[in-house]
Structure 1
Amino acid sequence: MKKKMLAFKNISSSKGASNLLCTFCIFTSVCLNNLVCGSFPKAQNVSWVSFNFKTLLTWTPKPTNYSYTVEFSPIGKDKERNPHCIRSMETECDLTADLKDLKATYRADVLSEPMRDETTDLIEFPYTTSGNFCPYEDTIIGKPEFKIEVSKDHRKITLYVTDILTAIFNEENQRLSIRDIFKDDLQYKVTYRRAESTGKKTEYSKSNTIELNNLDRGESYCFTVQAYIPSRSQDKQLGEPARDQCSPGDKTILEEYSLSAIVGAIAIIILVIAVVVTVIVVCCKRRQRAKNGEKEAMPLSGV
């Protein structure tokens, strides 16, 4: 009987130790995945935001009694820090000037640390790692500007596209355009249609000067232009579309104005002519009556 009781106690003791160990593992897992126990919250929603090569790393939440430090590097290389993003109370870091190799793939860590001038016993700080980002492949390209020129015979339209300026500067402190960065990899996609139609046509050009020939003479056409980078993944090949612009067309009076407007204008002209004729006739009759009255008032000459 004593042996059975002893065995039962050993089993109970073993189960208790197992439960304690399990609880410790769960607690440790929660701490590592969400908070470093007794430390600071980890950054959340760490994302890259890049437009025309101006690149920000953003995250949440806004810190209260702690700060954030950003470490970044091309994959497989030593980490670097931007001096403006060390123990910062902000939730974004501008890394535009730091990502010098635009074709490299970068990754960043956002560390939760004490505020400036504060100390802690922690050796390692909680952090969150971003996804991969390549400026050349991932930055969003904005809307280009373009002008329209119509030939004298109205059979050819030429578009002149201005390359977008980026947030990147060269060694001479001059801003680079997307043409300077993408070079021969840059094309422009032109989508156009007749002004009175919904059917669209598409042309691609490696040049900033785009000629469209054999258009219907005298017709007005509407155009939009987008940067096109064929080397990118399909969902990132196109930039933002420019605002639609339409060429002038040679319209007949019936195309320029509605039928009711034309009929109204004709009616007004006829009315004006009728009034003028009426006034002339009345004036002529009055003048004739005045002459006849003068003749009747004249004395008869002696026989």
Structure 2
Amino acid sequence: MGSAAITLGLAFICLHCGRASGTLLKPVTNVTWKSFNFLTTLQWEKISGDVVYTVRVAGIKSNWKKKPECTRMASTSCDLTSLMQNVTDTYTAEVLTFSSSITDETDEPPYTKSPPIQLLKETKIGRATFKVNKTTNAQIQLTIEDPLTHIRFSNKTLKTLRDIYGPELVYKVLYWKDRSSGKKTVIAKDQVLILDVDPGVSYCFTIQPHIKSPYKYGQKSSFQCTSSKGDFLSDYSIGVYALIGFGALLLLSIIIGISVYLCRRKTAQNVPEANPLKPV
């Protein structure tokens, strides 16, 4: 009986020591990057157990760095954008696993290394916005606004795509006559584009950022259409058309409802006259 108790106690002590040293902890799995307009986040799958995570990142041209927000945290994602401001560098991150109940981190914990990421090539590009203005009856001007990124200048202001890619950034402009299936494409190298059009005809436009090197496209914008009457231009999108259609249906429903109500009221008033009570 005594020897069994001693054996059990030793096993408990060994188990506790194993936990303290981190040998029972497991590294995380499925470590992936997500980057959109240079907003870059590391994600991974949660493992079982009462654990916390610490993330560190390094580039070929930079040493290992940590964010206070991503140190001993329970979350399974970490925004590393502020530590990855050199878009020409290639970065690798590590996710370290710790026991949440043990603060002594003298031993090297289990960790999982991310795949490398090069932001210039791998970040996804969003859509750009633009304005349409008619300069003459036969010309239309498109003014494009370069999308902002999450990379900052030394004064902390945000850089645009053009600040990062320079002349490698162009815009694919797709335009067509309203209610026509024929479409034309033109490349805009600058933020202002002048197009010759047929007078008195409505045109629709959509644009898409294009990075020539490294070769990739951004998201397409919603389309905008000009008005064929006068010089007035309006922005049209699927949402606007849906709103106009909903308003028309609502107005029609109100008119029908009022008409039905008035007809029923008139009928109710005419019934006594058409069937007068006969005197006894």
Partner of 2:143: 160
Look up the equivalent residue of 2:217 and give its one-letter code: L
Question: Which letter maps to 1:240?
Answer: Q
Q: In the alignment, is the contact (CA less than 8 A) between 1:144 and 1:225 conserved in 2?
A: yes
* Structure 1 match to 2:89: 104
Q: Is 2:160 the partner of 1:181?
A: no
Q: Answer yes or no: is 1:239 the counterpart of 2:239.
A: no
Residue 252 of structure 2: aligned partner = none
Q: CA contact under 8 A between 2:26 and 2:47: conserved in structure 1?
A: no
**1:152 alignment partner AA:** T
Counterpart of 2:144 in 1: which secondary structure? Answer: strand
1:122-133 equivalences in 2 (<5 Å): 123-133=107-117
Matches of 1:79 and 1:173, distance apart in 2: 22
| Percentage of matched positions with identical amino acids | 34
The 2-side partners of 1:202 and 1:62 are apart by: 50
The answer to whether the 8 Å contact 2:55/2:93 transfers is yes
Unaligned runs of 5+ in 1: 1-35, 252-303
Scaled by the length of structure 2, the TM-score of the pair is 0.69
Whether 2:126 is the aligned partner of 1:142: answer yes
Superposed structure 1 runs of 4+ greater than 6 Å apart: none
Structure 1 position 117, deviation (Å)? 4.7
1:200 CA drift (Å): 1.8
2: CA distance, partners of 1:94 / 1:200: 41
Offset of residue 216 of structure 1: 2.3
Change (3 A) 1:126 1:117: closer
- Code of the residue aligned with 1:51 in structure 2: it is F
Q: Quick one: which amino acid aligns to residue 118 of structure 1?
A: T
Structure 1's 82 and 149: CA in aligned 2 closer, same or farther, altered over 3 A? same
1:217 aligns with 2:202: no
Q: Go from structure 1 to structure 2 and tell me whether the alpha carbon gap of 1:63 and 1:204 turns closer, same or farther (over 3 Å shift).
A: farther
Q: Is the 2:174–2:206 contact (alpha carbons within 8 Å) kept by the matching residues of 1?
A: yes
Looking at structure 2, the residues matched to 88 and 248 of structure 1 have their Cα atoms a distance apart, in angstroms, of 55
**8 Å CA contact retained: 2:22, 2:109:** no
Any idea what the Cα deviations from partners look like across 1:231-279, whole Å, max 9, x if unmatched? 014xxx111111110111149xxxxxxxxxxxxxxxxxxxxxxxxxxxx
1:137-169 deviation digits (Å, cap 9, x = unpaired): 22122111111012332x211100011112222
Match of 2:189 in 1: 206
1:95 offset after TM fit, Å?
A: 0.9
User: For residues 180 and 77 of structure 1, what CA distance do their matches in structure 2 show?
Assistant: 22
Please say if residues 143 and 226 of structure 1, whose CA atoms lie closer than 8 Å, have aligned partners that are also in contact. Answer: yes
Pair 1:86 & 2:86 matched: no
2:228 paired residue number? 249
Report the counterpart of residue 54 of structure 1 in structure 2: 39
Q: Which amino acid letter does the alignment assign opposite residue 164 of structure 1?
A: P
Deviation of the 1:88 alpha carbon: 1.4
Higher alpha-carbon Rg: 1
Give the Å deviation of 1:127.
1.8
Q: State the AA in 2 paired with 1:79.
A: W
**C-alpha deviation, 1:177, in angstroms:** 1.4
Distance (Å, rounded) in 1 between the aligned partners of 2:22 and 2:88: 39
Contact 1:62–1:91 (8 Å) recurs in 2: no
Q: Do 2:85 and 2:152's aligned partners in 1 also have CA atoms closer than 8 Å?
A: no
Residues 114 and 120, structure 1, Cα contact 8 Å, conserved in 2: no
Shift of 1:64: 4.2
Q: TM-score by structure 1 length?
A: 0.64
Match of 1:279 in 2: none
Q: Contact between 1:54 and 1:166, CA under 8 Å: does it hold in 2? A: yes
Q: Root-mean-square deviation (CA), in Å?
A: 2.3
The number of equivalent residue pairs is: 210
Distance 1:63 1:247, change over 3 A: farther
| 8 Å CA contact retained: 1:149, 1:158 | yes
